[in-house]
């Protein structure tokens, strides 16, 4: 069962703050009559994954449902604030700043199962756990996050991050820290070639490869010997970012800052000892250039042109997909652009396209954009409302507009607050009328550096 047995004498500072804020706001809500009445149900709800999306759903559903048996399947004890990893890898944050115990966020009444999920039997509505036991469900929320497929790059593994000039901000918090060290070592070397890559699949925080390039450029420029360093960016497609204005902006800035851009190349192999990377030219007409079309089985095809180049530092962005046990289940997309790789949901209602009792949220879903914590903030109220409607047999009225946000760090100390959605060719959806998403600003940087982490924790607690 869940961990919380309230003992006021053992409150730490953070808990005290939460209780103080909660008590004050509860008083306001009570007095204004804004509290919604929870829905009574004895439904068994299983949430797979305790990351941003799973934790937000656990909190939201526990507030909204009375009598439901909610189970959260999450093996990890530590919650990682992953949006902070780029700042760790850039030397701005210490790694400790990104970690909190999961127990802080799990609400009372939710059964926390500290096991990994091993398989999903969607037909019989049950989930297999790592110890071989099964949990039955009436409703399932798939919030597993995604899987990093370093193995699709020959010679590469996450263990290599931090050695032989290899960095990868995605690997883990330890990987982000070792990436910082690898960049430090390259800069201390005083010269040399750095290669920054992008993946030929959808990735979480699609801005991260660009942010790592920009923050490293800041650090290289700070040495006063920028010209002694070569910087290259290898992109598998023609675009660098989904939002068209930002895509053009980043390309121009790379050109202005002396970054050599090469398009239609994907990282296919790496030789750590020799510090050489092999890139496969995938061609402008290749299926690879439309990153939503890439499948694991399509890597390493015959007859492709390959280029081998040396490096002093390389930032590796691995191909990504839904976790293997989700891919092996009947919940995976059967056709369309996400087939075989991502969860099959309606991108507006977030309900599974074939199993109406199943909802998806977060990185695991097949959607054109949306693998960010900011997307979770927008998706969580939609999944909550539609799941409650499904329980009551009502139509699903809540719709997700594809909102996502990327504080695009364009240097250490400045950023653009880029918010956009599915519609109108990924048009901007700014939250603040006084912050122009097309402008680099200090205010956007301060939001990234100081405000987004508190907002993230509020999302986890189901309050934002």
Partner 1 sequence: MTIQGALTILMYALAPFLWLIVAGLGLLVTIQLIARVRGYRAFTYRCLGANLAALAVGLSGLWWIPAFTSSRLAYVATAFDWVALIGAVLGLAIAAWLVLHPLSYLLRGRQSQLLATKQKLP
- From the CB of 106, what's the least distance to partner 1, in Å? 16
Quick one: which of 3, 28, 191, 284 contacts partner 1 (CB under 8 A)?
A: 28
Q: Any contact of residue 397 with partner 1 (CB under 8 A)?
A: no
> Binding segment for partner 1 among 174-182, 230-238, 271-279, 447-455 (CB under 8 A)?
447-455
- Give the CA distances from residue 203 to residues 165, 251, 341, 369, in Å, rounded to whole numbers and listed in that order: 22, 19, 12, 9
- The angle, 0 to 180 degrees and rounded to 10, between the axes of the packed helices 373-391 and 452-460 is 20
Q: Any contact of residue 274 with partner 1 (CB under 8 A)?
A: no
Quick one: which of 39, 389, 398, 443 contacts partner 1 (CB under 8 A)?
A: 443
Quick one: which of 26, 78, 99, 308 contacts partner 1 (CB under 8 A)?
A: 26
Q: Which residues pair with 168 in a beta bridge?
A: none
Q: Any contact of residue 446 with partner 1 (CB under 8 A)?
A: yes
User: What is the rounded distance in angstroms from the CA atom of residue 274 to the CA atom of residue 309?
Assistant: 10
Nearer to partner 1, 404 or 453 (CB): 453
User: What is the rounded distance in angstroms from the CA atom of residue 187 to the CA atom of residue 96?
Assistant: 24
User: What is the rounded distance in angstroms from the CA atom of residue 262 to the CA atom of residue 91?
Assistant: 27
User: What is the rounded distance in angstroms from the CA atom of residue 265 to the CA atom of residue 214?
Assistant: 20
Token pair for 150? 């370093």
Q: Any contact of residue 11 with partner 1 (CB under 8 A)?
A: no
Q: Any contact of residue 99 with partner 1 (CB under 8 A)?
A: no
- Give the CA distances from residue 449 to residues 373, 413, 429, in Å, rounded to whole numbers and listed in that order: 15, 9, 21
- From the CB of 375, what's the least distance to partner 1, in Å? 16
On whether the CB atoms of residues 35 and 29 are closer than 8 A, the answer is yes
- From the CB of 18, what's the least distance to partner 1, in Å? 7
> Binding segment for partner 1 among 232-240, 382-390, 394-402, 448-456 (CB under 8 A)?
448-456
Quick one: which of 411, 420, 421, 426 contacts partner 1 (CB under 8 A)?
A: 411
Quick one: which of 127, 206, 231, 414 contacts partner 1 (CB under 8 A)?
A: 414
Q: Do the bridges between strand 259-263 and strand 65-66 make them parallel or antiparallel, or are there none, so unpaired?
A: unpaired
Q: Any contact of residue 21 with partner 1 (CB under 8 A)?
A: yes
Number of residues that bind partner 1 (CB under 8 A): 38
- From the CB of 45, what's the least distance to partner 1, in Å? 22
Quick one: which of 3, 20, 163, 334 contacts partner 1 (CB under 8 A)?
A: 20
Q: Any contact of residue 13 with partner 1 (CB under 8 A)?
A: yes
Q: Any contact of residue 384 with partner 1 (CB under 8 A)?
A: no
Q: Any contact of residue 451 with partner 1 (CB under 8 A)?
A: yes
Helix, strand or coil, per DSSP, at residue 14: helix
User: What is the rounded distance in angstroms from the CA atom of residue 273 to the CA atom of residue 146?
Assistant: 29
- From the CB of 446, what's the least distance to partner 1, in Å? 5
Q: Any contact of residue 328 with partner 1 (CB under 8 A)?
A: no
Nearer to partner 1, 81 or 281 (CB): 81
Q: Any contact of residue 311 with partner 1 (CB under 8 A)?
A: no
- Give the CA distances from residue 303 to residues 49, 140, 266, 297, 300, in Å, rounded to whole numbers and listed in that order: 40, 44, 15, 15, 9
Q: Any contact of residue 222 with partner 1 (CB under 8 A)?
A: no
- From the CB of 284, what's the least distance to partner 1, in Å? 36
Q: Any contact of residue 449 with partner 1 (CB under 8 A)?
A: yes
Q: Which residues pair with 69 in a beta bridge?
A: 44
On whether the CB atoms of residues 221 and 184 are closer than 8 A, the answer is no
Token pair for 231? 């910087």
In the block, tokens 């956007």 appear at: 444
- From the CB of 448, what's the least distance to partner 1, in Å? 10
Q: Any contact of residue 101 with partner 1 (CB under 8 A)?
A: no
- From the CB of 445, what's the least distance to partner 1, in Å? 6
User: What is the rounded distance in angstroms from the CA atom of residue 123 to the CA atom of residue 128?
Assistant: 13
Helix, strand or coil, per DSSP, at residue 309: strand
Q: Any contact of residue 95 with partner 1 (CB under 8 A)?
A: no
Helix, strand or coil, per DSSP, at residue 341: coil
CA end-to-end span of the chain, whole Å? 26
User: What is the rounded distance in angstroms from the CA atom of residue 140 to the CA atom of residue 272?
Assistant: 42
Quick one: which of 11, 39, 269, 464 contacts partner 1 (CB under 8 A)?
A: 464
Q: Any contact of residue 24 with partner 1 (CB under 8 A)?
A: yes
The backbone torsions φ and ψ at residue 284, rounded to the nearest 5 degrees and listed phi first, read -65, -20
- From the CB of 20, what's the least distance to partner 1, in Å? 7
Question: Cβ of 380: how many Cβ atoms within 10 Å?
Answer: 27
Contact set with partner 1 (CB under 8 A): 13-14, 17-18, 20-22, 24-26, 28-29, 92, 411-414, 434-436, 439-443, 445-446, 449-451, 453-455, 457-458, 461, 463-464
């Amino acid at each position: 069962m869940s961990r919380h047995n309230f003992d006021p004498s053992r409150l730490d500072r953070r808990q005290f703050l939460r209780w103080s804020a909660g008590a004050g706001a509860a008083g306001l809500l009570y007095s204004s009559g804004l509290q919604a009445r929870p829905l009574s149900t004895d439904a068994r709800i299983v949430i797979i994954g305790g990351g941003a999306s799973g934790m937000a759903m656990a909190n939201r559903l526990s507030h909204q449902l009375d009598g439901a048996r909610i189970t959260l399947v999450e093996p990890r004890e530590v919650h990682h604030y992953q949006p902070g990893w780029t700042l760790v890898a850039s030397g701005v944050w210490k790694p400790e700043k990104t970690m909190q115990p999961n127990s802080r966020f799990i609400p009372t009444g939710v059964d926390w199962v500290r096991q990994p999920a091993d398989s999903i039997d969607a037909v019989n509505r049950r989930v297999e756990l790592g110890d071989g036991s099964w949990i039955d469900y009436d409703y399932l929320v798939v919030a597993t996050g995604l899987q990093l497929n370093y193995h699709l790059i020959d010679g590469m593994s996450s263990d290599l991050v931090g050695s032989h000039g290899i960095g990868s901000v995605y690997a883990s918090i330890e990987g982000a820290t070792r990436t910082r060290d690898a960049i430090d070592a390259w800069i201390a070397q005083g010269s040399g070639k750095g290669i920054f890559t992008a993946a030929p699949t959808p990735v979480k925080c699609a801005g991260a490869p660009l942010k790592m390039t920009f923050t490293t450029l800041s650090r290289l420029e700070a040495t006063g010997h920028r010209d002694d360093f070569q910087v290259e960016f290898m992109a598998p497609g023609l675009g660098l970012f989904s939002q068209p204005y930002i895509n053009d902006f980043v390309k121009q800035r790379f050109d202005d800052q002396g970054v050599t851009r090469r398009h239609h190349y994907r990282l296919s192999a790496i030789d750590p000892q020799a510090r050489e990377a092999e890139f496969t030219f995938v061609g402008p007409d290749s299926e690879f250039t439309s990153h939503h079309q890439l499948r694991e089985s399509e890597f390493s095809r015959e007859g492709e042109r390959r280029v081998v180049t040396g490096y002093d530092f390389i930032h590796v962005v691995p191909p990504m997909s839904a976790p293997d046990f989700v891919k092996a289940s009947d919940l995976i997309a059967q056709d369309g652009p996400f087939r075989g790789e991502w969860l099959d949901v309606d991108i507006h209602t977030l309900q599974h396209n074939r199993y109406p009792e199943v909802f998806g949220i977060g990185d695991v879903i097949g959607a054109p954009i949306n693998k960010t914590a900011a997307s979770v903030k927008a998706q969580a109220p939609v999944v909550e409302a539609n799941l409650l409607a499904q329980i009551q047999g009502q139509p699903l009225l809540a719709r997700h507009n594809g909102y996502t946000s990327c504080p695009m760090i364009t240097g250490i100390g400045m950023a653009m607050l880029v918010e956009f959605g599915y519609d109108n060719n990924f048009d901007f959806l700014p939250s603040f009328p006084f912050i122009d998403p097309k402008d680099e600003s200090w205010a956007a940087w301060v939001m990234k550096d100081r405000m987004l982490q508190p907002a993230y924790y509020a999302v986890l607690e189901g309050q934002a």
